[in-house]
A and B are shown apart, each in its own frame.
Chain A
Amino acid sequence: MEMTRRNAIAMGAGALLIAGLPVRVFAAAEDLIAEFTGGAEVGAGDITLTAPEIAENGNTVPIEVSSETAAEILVLAMGNPTPAVATFKFGKLAASRSASTRIRLAGTQDVVAIAKLDDGTFVQTSSTVKVTIGGCGG
């Protein structure tokens, strides 16, 4: 999917409606993005976010971000009361520009990764992670 800033906002708004989160949370995520990008245009490109479609445990969800050319990658959990998850910084000599961690998700939401590339441009991707109370398989 082509991720534009506009889509991200629309999706964020969707999550907001469902989760019934206070408006300031979403504004907080927006502020973080604006701070990271300095208001620059965010496109799609060299950024990969690997996350489960459905979390096995919402308290510890494994995610991985990678990019060949990223200098920095910002990870946000758009539906969490505190959306900031991590900012990974990679030096010019980094053997591999990827990082993995585990994050806690308050509920079903989008996880967003924004990379600042070596050339100064910004790219973004996102993934919806469902947090469910579980049930019964076939």
Chain B
Amino acid sequence: MISRRDFLQTSMAAAALYGTSGFGNWARLAAQQAMTQDKLLEFDTFGNVSLIHITDIHAQLKPIYFREPSINIGVGGNKGAVPHVTGADFRKLYGIDDGSPSAYALTYNDFSALAQSYGRVGGLDRVSTVINSIRADRPDALLLDGGDTWHGSYTCYHTQGQDMVNVMNALKPDAMTFHWEFTLGSERVNEIVQGLPFAALGQNIFDAEWDEPAELFPPYKFFERGGVKIAVIGQAFPYMPIANPGWMFPEYSFGIRDENMQQMVDDVRAQGAELVVCLSHNGFDVDKQMAGKVTGIDVILSGHTHDALPEPVLVGDTIIVASGSNGKFVSRVDLDVRDGRMMGFRHKLIPIFSDVITPDPEVTKVIDAQREPYADALSEVIGRTADDQLLYRRGNFNGTWDDLICDALISEREADIAMSPGVRWGPSILPGQDITREDIWNVTSMSYGEAYRNEMTGEFLHVVLEDVADNLFNPDPYYQQGGDMVRVGGLGYRIDVSKPQGERITEMTLLKTGEAIDPSKTYQVAGWASVNEGTEGPAIWDVVEAHIAKQGTVSLDPNNSVKVVGA
């Protein structure tokens, strides 16, 4: 039996650092003195198996700033449970000091000031250094990529994911699962997957016509590591054809398919698996629920909802590890597997502080080679943020990046109301920072970025908001799609997250007149990222670039147009 004590042998890298007090007046050098690479990577190698997890990179090859959410509401059984804890509550829960490196990495408060001290995060050449260091301790460690890798940047768009494939190949993963990759279109995905030097897994990737497992994506793969027979089962994002344009990959069907997951676990156990790892893109709450229904999974490496947790969450005998997004974190999980079962683990969520971790020059070279043909376009400065203006996205409702995108849609497309997708990717821009074309693409890049302009009735707008709200706030996680609430511009509303679908959204107001939205009246709505085939309009990145260029310096009014209750 796994003892509770074994499970408590977890730690977070930065938590071991000296707690720093006060806020951000140190020079970056001071941050480097407080943190060292050795400290960040310090780990007492444990047991006989090591797993390295990275997920939801969203094509961020270079270091970026990434602010964690201030609002992340849990509903039903997950109300107040991790990962639905933010800010001071999060720091209290994990014993993190205000103003410390961990506070900067994991919470949103004083982000702009702390960013000045601790610098950018991520960068796949730094990630490579971390992976190499773990492999130095344990040469046969498994590197597992949770997907959302081949999406999210200028170079990724223009190379149809090839830049990410080339750089990830240099890191030598052992297996991967998928989500946004499919928005490259099934033809391109098939082409890349056929050439991958590692396993492309998904027990829930099915052939849509026959409702049978898709041949190109095996459900699992066996690895022999440290004398242990390990099965890694893939779980792709279940709701791809719903949350993303299904017409781009019509041959494929997904779904949670937990009964098939149980079958796969039983199959691999029957074939002698001593350790069962699920590499998942379900999202955290779905993984928690699945862990309670499917028996026999030892470790779920969880992706999709971009949560970064300093400790695994335990459901029955299954540990769930959440490793953040955008290249900001890597998780190391060491396991002691004996007599055919997991006896204990040790875990560390390693924040990739880019000024502290030395880049791996080999991988820097590969990254630079991908970017070189586009260098001029990437680096062109389009505008800058005002000295008190942070641009970020992450959170259940509009972030400032979303407000800026909605403003761009309203003014460039002459609309009453703007809608912008509630995605969780997209790095932050600090106050007083240049905004380059690359920065704009980092928050808008996708293969269906047409900015449409449609007429919608007030009634339809209500249906849209209710529909998206239920994808986020349905009390049963299996009915959630991940992502956040659709962002709106020019429209205010009240949302009671505790109510059922159809009753959550009230008090819809057209902000420019202050009048209530009339269900029967027609409004001009501009938006982007429609899942419908044949959507027309200019590319969203061009719309946003034109708007920022006109502004010069970006300064936004505080957005108080969404009233949230019932949380």
Please choose the segment from A33-41, A48-56, A74-82, A116-124 that sits at the chain B interface, where 4 or more of its residues have CB less than 8 A away: A48-56
Contacts of A137 in B (CB 8 A): 179-180, 237, 239-240, 243-244, 304, 423, 481-483
- Stretch of A3-11, A21-29, A91-99, A128-136 contacting B (4+ beta carbons < 8 Å): A128-136
State how many angstroms separate the Cβ of A14 from the closest Cβ of chain B. Answer: 8
Within 8 A of A (CB), among B496-526: 500-502
Q: Which segment of B254-262, B340-348, B540-548 sits at the interface?
A: B254-262
Q: Is A100 an interface residue (CB 8 A)?
A: yes
Q: Contact check, B423 vs A136: say whether CB atoms are below 8 A apart.
A: yes
Interface of A, helix, strand, loop or mixed by DSSP? loop
- Inter-chain CA distance A130–B253, complex, in Å, is 16
A55 to B482, CA, bound (A): 16
**B463 & A133 in contact (Cβ 8 Å cutoff):** yes
Q: How far is the CA of A54 from the CA of B240 in the complex (A)?
A: 11
Q: Are A133 and B464 in contact (CB under 8 A)?
A: yes
Interface pair B304/A134, CB less than 8 Å apart = no
A135 lies within 8 A of B425 (CB): no
B246 within 8 A of A: yes
CA distance A57 to B283 in the complex (A): 22
- B residues 212-268 with Cβ under 8 Å of A? 237-244, 246, 253-256, 259
B161 interfacial by beta-carbon distance below 8 Å: no
Q: Kindly state the interface size class of chain A when it binds its partner.
A: 20 to 34
Instruction: Give, as a whole number of angstroms, the nearest-CB distance from B319 to chain A.
Output: 22
Contacts of B368 in A (CB 8 A): none
B467, CB-defined interface residue at 8 Å = yes
Alpha-carbon distance A82/B468, docked complex (angstroms): 28
* Interface status of B435 (Cβ within 8 A of chain A): no
Tell me, rounded to whole Å, the shortest Cβ–Cβ distance linking A62 to chain B. Answer: 5
B23 within 8 A of A: no
Q: How far is B208's CA from A57's CA once the two chains are assembled, in angstroms?
A: 11
Which residues does chain A contribute within 8 Å of B189, judged by CB atoms? none
Flag if A130 contacts B479 (CB, 8 Å): yes
Given contacts A54-B255, A135-B422, 4 further A-B contacts (CB under 8 A): A135-B421, A136-B422, A137-B481, A138-B484
Complex A-B, nearest 7 residue pairs according to Cβ-Cβ distance, in ascending order: A137-B243, A136-B421, A138-B424, A56-B241, A138-B482, A138-B483, A53-B478
| A–B pairs, 24, beta carbons within 8 Å | A18-B500, A18-B502, A53-B476, A54-B239, A54-B479, A56-B241, A56-B255, A57-B241, A62-B211, A100-B211, A133-B463, A135-B242, A135-B243, A135-B421, A135-B471, A135-B486, A136-B243, A136-B421, A136-B422, A138-B283, A138-B304, A138-B423, A138-B425, A138-B483
